[in-house]
Amino acid sequence: MLHEITLTVNGEQRTVAVKSHHTLLKVLREQLGITSPKIGCENGECGACTVLMNGKAVNSCLVLAVEADGAVIETVENLSKEGELHPLQQAFVEHNAIQCGFCTPGMIMSAKGLLDRNPHPTVDEVKEALAGNLCRCTGYIRIVDAVMDVAKKGDA
């Protein structure tokens, strides 16, 4: 069965007909052409599909698309403006917090979710916020450093 939902994705209002059983992740990737949220486990265990939904970091593989009707969704595609990277993105470059980059969009959105509600977190709060985002390449230390750097500058 198809349901028509309207949601705001990266600042743009979109109306799409979605199947009852399709997840927000699937609709973002396949119907809305937003491929930064990645499919790593489809069970909410790896965090590669993390997006902000109404300002809160969620695993988009665990959200049914129909649940996102009326929601505001943000992904990394919305962060850089006119070629300028967002401070979080820039910090990831400067701290070399990226290797293969598969987990990176989800990692950035989890970090943004944290900094939006808590602009000056402690290291432990950052680690806690990122504990749901697995990364196999970086060893996390530089990711935590990058987020702390932005938090200290306070320009997120």
* Site residues for another protein per CB under 8 A: 21, 29-30, 34-36, 38-43, 45-46, 48, 75-77, 79-80, 85, 89, 92-94, 96, 98-105, 108, 123, 126-128, 130-131, 133-144
**Contact present, 48 and 103 (Cβ < 8 Å):** yes
**Nearer Cβ to another protein (70/84):** 84
**Nearer Cβ to another protein (51/71):** 51
CB of 55 to another protein, least distance (A): 19
CB of 149 to another protein, least distance (A): 14
CA separation for the pair 148, 25 (Å, rounded): 28
**Nearer Cβ to another protein (70/155):** 155
CB of 83 to another protein, least distance (A): 9
**Nearer Cβ to another protein (7/135):** 135
**Tokens of residue 80, six digits:** 């850089």
CB of 5 to another protein, least distance (A): 19
| Residue 143, SS3 per DSSP | helix
**Nearer Cβ to another protein (70/146):** 146
**Contact present, 134 and 46 (Cβ < 8 Å):** yes
CB of 118 to another protein, least distance (A): 16
CA separation for the pair 27, 131 (Å, rounded): 26
Nearest by Cα to 135 from 111, 90, 99, 91? 99
| Residue 54, SS3 per DSSP | coil
**Tokens of residue 28, six digits:** 């973002």
